[in-house]
Structure 1
């Protein structure tokens, strides 16, 4: 790894840490959605390019984010909305896993579209 690449990665890590430390809880969820969409899109591109190592890492990242989103739900205060989101995250995880397993870019695009719809709905909420 070159010094320039290592430095770029370190600066990116510092930038991410700074943004998350200063973000509101609402913004943190937005950031998770952004990262989820990025991981899903990258996985789709990797499938099309037959870069199965990248596909696997990006699918794993997406699955981790979906798990994190679900584990952050407050079922006591969120009621039916939290239950619906939990079901949606579970469905997205299952579909993303299956799309990755089958190298199905079209199925993964459907997962990405569904996740984008959730992200857009979240952005409409003003804290």
Structure 2
């Protein structure tokens, strides 16, 4: 069985799972669903770079950038003040770095984005947990 069928089948399963999780999520949980999808897709970027599947790498980076743009787009700049402005700058920085990774294929630069996204995800987990308490 070739990689296309495995990747395509997994993508279909993941899409259904993501839709089900998103439909049942609160706004805070939805942000976590997006971060989970972003973390998964960043791992795929790494795999594509390592396996020299550059067309797939490009598609995965595009998905990551779309998720980051989505996260950036829902920020309430008017209400959030400096915290939200800082988040917007971090999302923009991650997009910039992913654009560089797309050309340079640097796993070190990709790791920087993975680390930043992981930290942001942990922060949202904390916000969600505090909100539920």
TM value normalised by structure 1: 0.88
Alpha carbons of structure 1 residues 110 and 10: separation in structure 2 relative to 1, 3 Å: closer
Mark the runs of 5 or more structure 1 residues left unpaired by the alignment. Answer: none
Tell me which of 106, 109, 112 is aligned to 1:110: 112
Tell me, yes or no, if the aligned pair for 1:100 and 1:108 is still in contact at 8 Å: no
Cα deviations across residues 44-66 of structure 1 (Å, max 9, x unaligned)?
12111111011111100000000
**Which residue of 2 is the match for residue 75 of structure 1?**
77
- From 95, 98, 101, the equivalent of 1:96 is 98
The structure 2 residue matched to 1:20, chosen from 19, 22, 31, is 22
- Change in Cα spacing, 1:12 to 1:37, as seen in structure 2 (3 Å) is closer
1:39-54 to structure 2, matched below 5 A, reads 39-54=41-56
Question: How far is the alpha carbon of 1:20 from its aligned partner?
Answer: 1.0
Change (3 A) 1:57 1:30: same
Q: Aligned pair count? A: 124
Structure number with greater CO (CA < 8 Å, separation at least 6) is: 1
- TM-score when scaled to structure 2? 0.84
Distance 1:94 1:9 in 2: 26
Deviations 1:22-77 (A, max 9, x none): 11000000010011111111101211111101111110000000000000000111
Give the Cα separation in 1 of the matches to 2:56 and 2:12.
21
Q: Which runs of 5+ in 2 are unaligned?
A: none
